[in-house]
């Protein structure tokens, strides 16, 4: 290891930047995150640095670099763009044993500036010794995506309670166990969600119960929508919770690609719900979630699409709240929007559809009792979930209420996944199309003029022209 990573305390330290161009401005932006006093030496400044100087945020010396500029400085950056000037800055700074950095010239620098992920006071530095700056940037972007925006708030929140925890929990090992549980528990999650009042109340309860030796850090449940199947469509919060989970409860609609994103040592419980083949009833799933949370575990309930759109998320949330289990809901991209995007179908369009309706095509009693007259209205898009088995009857009901038999339809099977199929036809053919193409699902039915916009159509055995 040539470069040893350190965090330099620049509070009230005088730092010198030589140069007034864009390269110098990038370094000034970084140094402004600290509490350093910034001095810039340059005959001219670009617009950004000139504005900072006018606002008094930096001290500008409008001239060329002089050796005496190094006096009383704690850190030096040379970014003038003139090799002779920057080289001289480096030689003089090294002679004074001052840490010096030349932009993009590690050989003449005594330190390099790493790629940084800033969640003040949490900071992550990434370096390659100057050998692969593009790789460093890509790693920084990946880490940025994984870390919650309020991670710094969580660190400051914990710091507020450190004295209290130290006073009531004897021994370093006991405190380490407390904080380990805290950072993966519901109180920390409340901080990350910006709910400081709930977090503070929860933390006071944890600290006050600690002297009695009660380990009452009850777990929590997250109802996480994972979208229609493509792991790239996961939200940042969904991915973070999947990586933190102790227990993951999932059903058959969760793709292997999604499950590959789950923390490897998390317990996985397959509840296997499918039409006509429920391996675990909804009541059993509800009790399972409560049981696991009361055991102090972070439980993630994975749901295809969005938990609150035909995902029974509302039922599970109500049950958990009734049993005083902390629960959060993480929205996901629902099948309608995900499948429409991959099929090139705009769900609303100024010239064709001014409304969109989501409906379910299945219930335990068969076809749901829906307002078919309203669903058959013109200038709207109807998206039917779980409608494969009743597709023919759905089409009949809509036509009976006046919707044209030539209304364009599209069936998107296994949307967003590599095996996706997009089938197009018209309403009168819907039932036959589903049988002819042996559509099994998961699939969504899109009915309305916008369905004629479907792209990447899968070749059908009997091609049918779409009526527009």
Residues known to be catalytic: 251, 273
CA 309 to each of CA 123, 344, 354: distance values in angstroms, whole numbers, following the listed order: 38, 22, 21
What SS3 class is residue 139? helix
For the purposes of burial, counting CB atoms within 10 Å of the CB of 162, is it exposed (0-12), middle (13-18) or buried (19 or more)?
Answer: exposed
DSSP E strand stretches across 275-331: 298-303, 326-330
DSSP tag of 349: B
Are β-strands 247-250 and 326-330 bridged in parallel, bridged antiparallel, or unpaired? unpaired
Beta-carbon count within 10 A of 295 CB? 12
User: For residues 279 and 364, what is the distance between their CA atoms, to the nearest angstrom?
Assistant: 15
DSSP E strand stretches across 65-219: 75-78, 100-102, 115-119, 122-126
Q: Give 96-113 as a DSSP string.
A: TT--EEETT-GGG-SS-P
Beta-carbon count within 10 A of 376 CB? 20
β-bridge partners, 122? 119
Sequence-distant (6+) residues with CB within 8 A of 465 are none
Q: Of all residues in the chain, what percent are helix, strand and coil, respectively (each to 5)?
A: 40, 20, 40
User: For residues 115 and 132, what is the distance between their CA atoms, to the nearest angstrom?
Assistant: 11
User: How far from chain centre, in Å, is Cα 225?
Assistant: 11
For the purposes of burial, counting CB atoms within 10 Å of the CB of 180, is it exposed (0-12), middle (13-18) or buried (19 or more)?
Answer: exposed
Q: Is the dihedral of CA 133, 135, 139, 142 positive or negative?
A: positive
User: For residues 234 and 268, what is the distance between their CA atoms, to the nearest angstrom?
Assistant: 19
What SS3 class is residue 407? coil
Among candidate residues 114, 198, 188, 186, the one with its CA nearest the CA of residue 151: 188
Q: What angle do CA 120, 122, 126 make, to 5 degrees?
A: 110
User: For residues 19 and 211, what is the distance between their CA atoms, to the nearest angstrom?
Assistant: 58
CA 89 to each of CA 58, 86, 114: distance values in angstroms, whole numbers, following the listed order: 20, 5, 21
């Amino acid at each position: 290891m040539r470069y040893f990573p350190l965090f330099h305390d620049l509070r009230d330290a005088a730092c010198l930047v030589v140069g007034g161009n864009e390269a110098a401005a990038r370094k000034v932006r970084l140094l402004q995150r600290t509490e350093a006093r910034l001095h810039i030496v340059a005959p001219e400044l670009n617009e950004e640095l000139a504005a900072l100087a006018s606002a008094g945020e930096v001290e500008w010396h409008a001239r060329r670099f002089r050796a005496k500029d190094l006096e009383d400085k704690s850190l030096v950056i040379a970014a003038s763009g003139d090799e002779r000037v920057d080289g001289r800055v480096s030689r003089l700074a090294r002679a004074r044993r001052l840490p010096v950095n030349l932009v993009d010239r590690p050989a003449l620098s005594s330190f390099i500036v790493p790629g940084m992920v800033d969640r003040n006071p949490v900071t992550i530095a990434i370096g390659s010794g100057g050998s692969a700056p593009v790789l460093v940037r890509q790693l920084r972007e990946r880490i940025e995506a994984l870390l919650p925006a309020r991670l710094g708030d969580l660190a400051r929140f914990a710091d507020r309670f450190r004295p209290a925890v130290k006073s009531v929990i004897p021994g370093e090992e006991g405190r380490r166990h407390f904080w380990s549980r805290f950072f993966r528990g519901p109180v920390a999650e409340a901080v990350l969600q910006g709910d400081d009042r709930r977090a503070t109340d929860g933390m006071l309860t944890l600290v006050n119960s600690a002297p009695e030796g009660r380990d009452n850090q009850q777990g929590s449940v997250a109802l996480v929508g994972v979208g229609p199947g493509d792991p790239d469509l996961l939200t940042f919060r969904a991915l973070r919770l999947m990586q933190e989970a102790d227990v993951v409860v999932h059903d058959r609609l969760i793709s292997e690609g999604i499950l590959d994103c789950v923390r490897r040592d998390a317990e996985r419980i397959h509840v296997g719900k499918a039409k006509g083949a429920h391996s675990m009833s909804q009541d059993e799933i509800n009790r399972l979630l409560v049981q696991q949370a009361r055991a102090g575990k972070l439980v993630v309930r994975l749901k295809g699409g969005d938990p609150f759109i035909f995902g029974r998320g509302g039922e599970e949330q109500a049950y958990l709240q009734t049993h005083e289990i902390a629960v959060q809901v993480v929205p996901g991209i629902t099948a309608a929007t995900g499948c429409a995007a991959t099929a090139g179908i705009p769900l609303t369009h100024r010239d064709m559809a001014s409304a969109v309706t989501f409906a379910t095509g299945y219930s335990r009693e068969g076809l749901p009792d829906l307002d078919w007259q309203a669903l058959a209205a013109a200038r709207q898009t109807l998206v039917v979930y779980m409608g494969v088995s009743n597709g023919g009857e759905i089409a009949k009901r809509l036509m009976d209420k006046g919707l044209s038999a030539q209304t364009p339809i599209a069936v998107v099977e296994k949307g967003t996944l590599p095996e996706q199929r997009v089938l197009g036809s018209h309403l009168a053919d819907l039932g036959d199309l589903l049988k002819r193409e042996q559509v099994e699902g998961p699939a969504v039915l899109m009915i309305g003029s916008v369905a004629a916009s479907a792209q990447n159509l899968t070749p059908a055995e009997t091609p049918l022209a779409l009526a527009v």
